[in-house]
Amino acid sequence: MKMRPGTQTGFLLCGKEWIEGETLEVRSPWDQGLVGRVTVATRADARQAVNHAVASLRRTRALPRWKRREILEDVAGALIEQKERFAQLIVAEAGKPVRQARVEVDRAVVTFKTAAEESARLGGESLPLDLTEGNEGRWGLVQRFPVGPVLAITAFNFPLNLVAHKVAPALAAGCPVILKPAPQTPFTALALGEVILKAGWPEEALAVLTLDNADTAWLAEKEDRVKLVSFTGSAKVGWQIKEHSGRKRVLLELGGNAALIVHGDWPDLDEAAVRTTHGAFGFAGQSCISVQRVFVERKIFQSFLWKVVEAAAKLVSGNPSDESTEVGPLIRQSEAERVESWVKEAVEGGAKLIAGGERQGSMITPAILTGTKLGMKVRDEEVFGPVVAIEPYDDFEEALAEVNHSKYGLQAGLLTRDAGRILTAYRELEVGGLIVGDSPNWRLDPMPYGGVKESGLGREGIRFAMEEMTEPRMLVMSGIG
C-alpha cells in the first residue's frame, strides 16, 4: 500500500514500480484543507509507462477469458469490502456529499461486475465463403483482438466510476492501460490501481500518471504506440486531442447542457419537481448530464416552477462529510465565481433569478432562473454548477426545437404519457440518449453512453467501449479437411 491514512501520500504507479518524486498538493474543495501530496509524473515516466504497456500487450492479449473475468470480479469484490474507504477519498478530493460518494462506489461495483460478464461474451463469428464458384471449401473466422495500449484521461467529478468506465472495459478486452486522472482527484485512481494489481492484472500493463497538461497532450497526440485515447472532459480539449491524434482511435465524452421537457399530461408534478431538483443540483450540478434547461408546457408552468422552488429550498447544502448534505462545494472557488458571474450576466440580460445564486467561497446556493434567452451562457454553454433555467412552451414541436437548439447533444429527459410524443421525441431529438419518465441525468452503467454534436464521439458503457477497444481480425481457411 502506497498511501497513508489521513493526509495521503500518492506515489506514481508506472508499470511495476511505485515512484516517489516531485509532488503536487491536493486540497479539499470544501475547506481547502490538505488532502495530501501526489507525485507528479514526467515525460520520461510517461515514455516508460508506454514501454511497459507495449511489452505487456502479448501477455494481456493471451490472458484467458476466465482469468480476465476473475480479475474483474475480484476488483468488484474489493470495492464492496472497501466501500467506505473509497467513499471517503471521493469526499475528500472531489467534495462530493458522502451519500452520493457511496452511490458512486456502488456504481463502480456494477461497472466492474458488468465488465466481468462481458469479458466472457466477447466473441466472434464464422462466415461461409463458398458463395461463388471456385471457392468451394472456403470459410472464415472473425475474432476481436485488443487494439493495444489505451490512454484513459478522466475528469474530477466521478473520480472512481469515470475511471472504471475506461479501465474495466480495457481489462475485459485485454488492453494495457495508462491512466491519467484529474489533478484534483488522483488518490481515488491510485487506490483503484492498487486494487487492480492485487486482483492479478499484470503489473506492467497498468500505469497511473499524474501528468501536467503539456505531457498529457504529448502522450495523447504524439506517442504513436498509444493506440486508443479515451477522454472525458471539456469539449475544447477533447476536440483538440481528436484533431492532433493522427491514426489513433479517439473516444470523447465531453458533456452538455441537458434538457428536460415536462408536458401537461404528466400526472405527478410534485414528483417531477423533486426529480428535476435532484437532477439539477445534486453534487452541485457537476455532472455532464445535470439538468440545466427545463421546458414546461405553459398550462402547468407556474405550478411546476414553484414546486421546483419549494423542492430546492429543502435541499441541505454544506459540508460534504455530513450525512445530511445534498449539495456540496464546487471543485474550486474559481469555478464558483464563474458560475456566479454567469448567473449575474443572465439577470443583467433580462432573466429573472427566482431563487438562489448566492456564493460563499466554493459554495453556490441552487439557482433557479426563468426568462433566459439564447445567447446567455446559462442557456448556451455547459454551466457545470447548481443552476437551472425553466421556461414555458405552447407547442410540443416548439419544445423539441428548443432542446435541439444547442451545440451539445448528450442526453435529454421527457415527462409525458403520450406514446406518439415519445416516439416523435425519440426520432427528432439530437441526443445520444432520451430518458422517458425521468430527468436526463439518469444513467445505468451498462448502457451505451455518449453524445452527438459537441458532446462527444463514440460510446461508453462496457460492451460498447469494448467494441471500440478491440478490432476485428479475419481468418480465411481453405483446403483443410
Catalytic residue among 288, 297, 391, 460: 288
Residue showing cell 414546461: 296
360 contacts: CB under 8 Å, gap ≥ 6: none
Pair 145, 124: CB distance under 8 Å: no
Residue showing cell 469479458: 119
Please report the DSSP string for 377-412 in residue order. Answer: HHHHS---SSEEEEEEESSHHHHHHHHHSSSEESEE
Would you call 253 a catalytic residue per the annotation?
yes
Kindly report the backbone phi and psi dihedral angles of residue 267, in degrees, each rounded to the nearest multiple of 5, phi listed first: -80, -25
Catalytic residue among 93, 118, 223, 253: 253
The DSSP code for 297 is E
Question: What gap in Å lies between CA 315 and CA 276, rounded to an integer?
Answer: 12
- Residue 91's SS3 state is helix
Distances (CA, A) of 466 to 112, 162, 173: 13, 15, 6
Would you call 288 a catalytic residue per the annotation?
yes
Distances (CA, A) of 349 to 67, 203, 258, 374: 59, 56, 22, 11
In a 13 Å sphere around the CA of 20, the CA atoms on its Cβ side amount to 4
Active centre residues (catalytic): 253, 288
